[in-house]
Structure 1
Amino acid sequence: MNVPETGGLASMSDGARIRWTALGDTPRKPPVVLLHGGPGLPDYLGEVATMIADLASVYRYDQRGTGASGWQGRHTPARHVGDLAELLDLWDAPEAVLIGHSYGTDLASRFCLAHPDRVAAMLLMCGPFVGDWRAGYRAARDRRMSAAQRERQRELEGVARRSEDQEVELLTLSWFTDHADPERGRHWAAREARKRRPVNWDMNRQLGAEGRADPLDQHVDALRACLPARVELLGAAEDPRPLSALESLGLKLGVPLTRVESAGHEPWLEQPDTVRAHLRRFVRAR
């Protein structure tokens, strides 16, 4: 597929500069905006963008403080919501189709709460997880790791200044359990541990603390009231984060959930044809 790609550095109102990329025919409206997870990782959704770039213009960006979006300062959900609003202004997009993954689903939801008139449609992939889901997640991860792997992970987490090799090893151990297939999962985790760098651990801690202080759980009723006409959830059957949490959210929001079998937290890796077909159907129907 031969589609044009553009990009640049956007200056935010507080001086931050955010690297963005657009794939596809940018005059097409509304555009699709992919919101990556983390928090604290650079954008990794290029493979997802190629699945739909012939149908719509697809924008991605490194969230402030990650990848090529260098920035030092306090991270808050409100600031990240503001970044997306400013980027839409820069892209001359009064509204957009939002597709979020993992933490990106929380960002998409909070953006919808703040700017419902700017969300044309929304697809939430492997998130957001509300309710008491963390215990089930930790238990599932532990089952997929050996005792030696769990011990090594704890040991690496306790190292104050990790070397490059130690950081890659820690990320590989932290991420391989996200996949349904453990062998391929180790390969993908090791590959991404070198690509999704550097990890902004301060951003991860700050947004994690902000999320616990003001959880999305408290805004579900308000979110349901301001959702656009088209909203869907996409979950993976083998994601260690319990699919039951997404099922519960779908019922609360009154939106459909599609279950991808034999796939983990990044379902486009293990079931690319299924995810591609779902994304294309969703974008076509926007």
Structure 2
Amino acid sequence: MGTSERAQDGDGGDDGGAASVVADDGVRLWAVRETDGPAAPVVLCHGGPGLWDTLQTPAALLGARPVVRWDQRGCGRSERRGPYTVARSVADLDAVRRGFGLERTALVGHSWGAQLALFYALAHPDRVSALVYVAGVGVDAEAAWHPGYEAGLRRGLGPHLARWRELRERPAAQLTRAEEREMCVLQWSADFPGPDALASAEAMATPWFGVNQECNRTLNAEARSLVASGGPLERCAALAVPVLIVDGARDIRPRSAVDSLERALPHVTRTVLPEGGHLPWTEDPEGFATAVGAFLDGVAAV
């Protein structure tokens, strides 16, 4: 079973409320609970895979609602140890839920974290009160959306495309820590529409914990295989959990990728933020807060 304990030196960074959740195989996961209150708790699942929690802003936009943020296995401030599998990721999320004493929880997942939250809800629907699926890529085969993403990435990189390609084409082992960060900042800048894209990507990369490339490759490959099997899409039809899909219309990942997921879910609402990119709370914090807050309040009132 997962347990939660106050972090030791170095486990929790600068977060005064940080705690360590210990997964059922002994791996220590960094986590923090922010804001105690009467509202139902929410667990946030960051993107990647292989990245760390960058969801401080959407957490703050949830107002007084209790929020749990965490770094997934092998990422950020969590212990850098596998295995990296979808089942293991689902079990780790369950350890976080149990570690903070939550019988049921609402989940807010972003990008890869939206997929993880969906996989968790399909595995444990009785433990999920609601699911907010932000900027995910649906449950269709990758071929349905990835070419559009690649084209959008090239457009979004603009004058930085040549430098990004130069760094991307080098073997990862030959990149310095600073070059790895530069490559990621350039790539992430394409996720932010507007003139402040590079500054927004710099903020996302601060502090810098380094990308777990093994985790990224392994989990992406397994998730692609699972989605290609058609199993997740079929199981969505029986999911009784209420779901809110939140899209940024200016996300470089084609939002049509989520259409079949929307059609498959029996209890679903979808909100599109017209000015939003892949992190839609950046361009439209008020619209994001209103949509997610109203949805979670509505679920709690039922």
Aligned to 2:176: 163
Task: Indicate the SS of the match to 1:89.
Answer: helix
Contact 2:177 2:210 in 1 (8 A): no
The 10-residue stretch of structure 1 (185-194 or 116-125) with the greater mean CA deviation from structure 2? 185-194
Aligned partner of 1:226 among 214, 218, 239 = 239
Which residue of structure 1 aligns with residue 73 of structure 2?
64
Q: Distance in 2 between matches of 1:270 and 1:196?
A: 23
Stretches of structure 1 lacking an aligned partner (at least 5 in a row): none
- TM alignment of 1:91-110, pairs within 5 A: 91-110=100-119
CA contact (8 A) 2:137 2:255 kept: no
Whole-angstrom distance in 2 between the partners of 1:261 and 1:190: 24
Report whether the alignment pairs 1:44 with 2:54: yes
State whether residues 138 and 259 of structure 2, in contact with CA within 8 Å, keep that contact through their aligned partners in structure 1: no
Aligned with residue 224 of structure 2, among 207, 212, 231: 212
What is the SS of the residue equivalent to 2:209?
coil
CA contact (8 A) 2:157 2:187 kept: no
Q: Deviations over 1:230-251 (max 9, x none)?
A: 2110001000001112233212
Identity of aligned residues (%): 34
- Supply the AA of the counterpart residue of 2:163: R
Task: Check conservation: 1:5, 1:23, Cα contact below 8 A.
Answer: no
- Aligned partners of 1:86, 1:76: CA distance in 2, in Å? 15
Partner of 2:131: 122
In the TM superposition, residue 270 of structure 1 has moved relative to its aligned partner by 0.9
Cα separation, 2, equivalents of 1:60 and 1:193: 17
Matches of 2:80 and 2:181, distance apart in 1: 23
Name the SS of the counterpart of 1:145 in structure 2: helix
Name 1:15's counterpart in structure 2: 26
Q: 1:178 aligns with which of 191, 199, 206?
A: 191
Shift of 1:99: 0.7
- Stretches of structure 2 lacking an aligned partner (at least 5 in a row): 1-14
Q: Secondary structure at the match of 2:30?
A: strand
* CA RMSD across the alignment: 1.9
TM-score by length of 1: 0.91
CA contact (8 A) 2:46 2:112 kept: yes
Structure scoring higher RCO (CA < 8 A, sep ≥ 6) equals 1
Q: How does the TM-score come out when normalised to structure 2?
A: 0.86
Corresponding position of 2:85:
76
Q: Whole-Å Cα distance in 2 between the matches of residues 68 and 224 of structure 1?
A: 36
- Structure 1 residue matching 2:237: 3-state secondary structure: helix
Q: Does 1:143 align with 2:148?
A: no
Q: Give CA-to-partner distance per residue, 1:20-52, whole Å, 9 cap, x none.
A: 1111116x4641111111111110111111122
Q: Deviations over 1:238-282 (max 9, x none)?
A: 000011122332123242211001110001111111111112112
Q: CA deviation at 1:206?
A: 0.8
Where does residue 134 of structure 1 map in the other structure?
146
Matches within 5 A, 1:187-202: 187-202=199-214
Residue 97 of structure 1: CA displacement? 0.5
CA gap 1:106/1:171 in 2 versus in 1, 3 angstroms: same
Alpha-carbon distance in structure 2 between the residues aligned to 1:205 and 1:80: 14
| Moved >6 Å (runs of 4+) | none
Once residues 75 and 117 of structure 1 are traced to their aligned partners in structure 2, the CA distance between those partners, rounded to angstroms, is 25
CA separation of 1:29 and 1:263: change in aligned 2, threshold 3 A: closer
Q: How many residues align?
A: 278
Deviations 1:75-108 (A, max 9, x none): 0010010011122122121110011110011101
Q: Distance in 1 between matches of 2:208 and 2:252?
A: 21
What amino acid does structure 2 have at the position aligned with 1:238? R
Counterpart of 2:262 in structure 1 is 250
| Aligned counterpart for 2:165 among listed residues 154, 157, 160 | 154
**Distance in structure 2 (CA, Å) of the matches to 1:104 and 1:113:** 14
Deviation at 1:227, TM superposition (A): 3.2
> Distance between the aligned counterparts of 1:51 and 1:193, measured in 2?
20
